[in-house]
Amino acid sequence: MSSHDIRSAKRPDPDQAMVDIANYITDYYIGSSEAYTTARYMLLDSLACAMLALRHPECVKHLGPLVPGAHLPGGARVPGTSFELDPVQAAYNIGVQVRWLDFNDTWLAAEWGHPSDNLGAILGVGDYLSRKAERENGKPITVRDILTWAIKAHEIQGAYAIKNSFNRVGLDHVILVRLASAAVATHMLGGGKDEIITAVSHSWLDGGALRAYRHAPNTGPRKSWAAGDACRRAVTHALNAVKGVVGYPSALTAKTWGFYDVAFKGKAFEFERPFGSHVMENVLFKISHPAEFHAQTAVECAMQLHAQVAGRLDQIDRIEIETQEAAMRIIDKTGPLANYADRDHCLQYMVAVPLAFGRLGADDYSDAVAADPRLDALRGKMQVKENPRFSEEYLDPEKRFIGNAVQVFFKDGSSTEKVSIDTPVGHRERRGEGIPLLLNKFEAAVRGQLPARKVDQILALTGDTSRFEATPLHRFVDLFTL
């Protein structure tokens, strides 16, 4: 892709895509009140996910120092625990917590992903810096600062995802978590444009994780800690950049050896719009169900049909599901499901549970629930097909719908109505309906994990916007620690 002479040792100017990120991080002013309001809800929603994840032993075993005993007194705190860690390992811990249940916010376009995954790096570094500043009589990091960095991380990840499909070349979307987190964390640590470009160049030199762990026949729990791993790597790059390590200016465009030629089939990245605050303003929240987002409206459809079919499961002839092309590629899955991760990425399973039981929670992906023979029997009766309108409106920048439809047909020739839903409750178009549910999700999650005294303090603080945003980050995080 590069016009640079492959034989010449002269360093080229940095690739424009990397320069654009550095300029945005250092120079762009976030003036959108909607972006900040949404970012506050995103922070609470992500912390709710982190608290809920602590109820799952498979998540908890990832938490703490990488090497037993390697704690850092005065380091970054891990919400819901007593761990004090260096910012690299804290980024991993928090990233794992936020992402574990597939219940945090989502962005859907040519690429998919979860922009709040970046909070692993942002909170890990931010809390470390805030505590360090207090010890050294400096200015602590505030919650408002965290929201600003989160808006920018969301924007970088989401803007790249709109037109650039990493999944189509077999790479996982956490490549964009590493990219956005490396850029933002470098600036948090005091790096300027040159250091941000250096960190970003190293992020691209890492290549990308393969998506094999998200798809049959290899679906497994790595998908729940992959974003934390990306955050950890990003903070490593940021720390190295501010130390002055050498960057690689044509990491993207270098002929033969650069990312474009090696990993992106020789194509340059495309962009729909310049960086701003669009992604945070339009991000999708997972509020009602911990389910892969392409299935959220399908779950809502199934919930509506539950009362009509629950007493007639043995009389069902077939179940027709219409969905988007993206869902067909990601979560249309038949055959045995091996584990939790297999089930929460199976459209048919995510429809079967609410049809049968009128619910879909994290525990419904467990081996115990999955052993109910009625669920596999229902899956075996499902026919999944693409609805072209759903696919078109999924990619429409003015809509970004995630439509699904479900209809149940019985052996006696009768059927339910076809229930069709274009946008899930977490969509921007349904914010008025969704935010009270999000706040309920947050309160229930923290009450299930923290002492009542701390919960009351958290709710009082987060309910007062001005006081909340002005709070030093480490003081806020202290309310979540044990």
Helices 87-99, 174-188: inter-axial angle, 10-degree rounding: 140
State pTM to two decimals: 0.91
- pLDDT at residue 21 tops 60: yes
User: Residue 137: left if φ>0, alpha if ψ -120 to 50, beta else—which one?
Assistant: left
User: Architecture of domain 293-424 in CATH?
Assistant: 2-Layer Sandwich (3.30)
420: which strand partners?
A: 405
Q: What pLDDT sits at residue 10? A: 87
Q: What pLDDT sits at residue 446? A: 98
Provide DSSP, 91-120. Answer: HHHHHHHHHTTS-S-BEESSSEE-GGGGHH
- Which residue is it, tokens 């459809």? 301
409: which strand partners?
A: 318, 415
Give CATH for domain 16-282. Answer: 1.10.4100.10
pLDDT tens for each residue of 403-429: 999 999 999 999 999 999 999 999 999
pLDDT tens for each residue of 41-69: 999 999 999 999 999 999 999 999 999 99
For a pLDDT cut of 90, what percent of the chain falls above it? 96
Residues 410, 396 contacting (CB under 8 angstroms)? no
Instruction: Pinpoint the residues of the chain covered by CATH 1.10.4100.10.
Output: 16-282
Reported confidence tier of residue 397, pLDDT bands at 50, 70, 90: confident
Residues 405, 321 contacting (CB under 8 angstroms)? yes
**Cα dihedral 128/134/136/142 (nearest 10):** 70
Residues 327, 294 contacting (CB under 8 angstroms)? yes
Q: What pLDDT sits at residue 434? A: 95
Gyration radius of the chain over CA positions: 23
- pLDDT at residue 5 tops 80: no
Q: What pLDDT sits at residue 363? A: 94
Cα distance between residue 385 and residue 477, in whole Å: 46
pLDDT tens for each residue of 199-238: 999 999 999 999 999 998 999 999 999 999 999 999 999 9
Q: Are strands 316-323 and 382-386 parallel, antiparallel or unpaired?
A: parallel
Which of these, 258, 237, 240, 241, lies nearest to 249 by C-alpha position? 258
Cα distance between residue 259 and residue 253, in whole Å: 7
- pLDDT at residue 2 tops 50: no
Instruction: Pinpoint the residues of the chain covered by CATH 3.30.1330.120.
Output: 293-424
pLDDT tens for each residue of 323-340: 999 999 999 999 999 999
Averaged confidence pLDDT in the chain: 96
pLDDT tens for each residue of 135-180: 999 999 999 999 999 999 999 999 999 999 999 999 999 999 999 9
**Average pLDDT value for residue range 273-281:** 97
pLDDT tens for each residue of 79-117: 999 999 999 999 999 999 999 999 999 998 899 999 999
Q: What pLDDT sits at residue 1? A: 44
Q: What pLDDT sits at residue 4? A: 52
Cα distance between residue 320 and residue 298, in whole Å: 11
Q: What pLDDT sits at residue 7? A: 67
- pLDDT at residue 472 tops 90: yes
Cα distance between residue 226 and residue 176, in whole Å: 12
Reported confidence tier of residue 6, pLDDT bands at 50, 70, 90: low
**Average pLDDT value for residue range 19-48:** 98
Residues 112, 330 contacting (CB under 8 angstroms)? yes
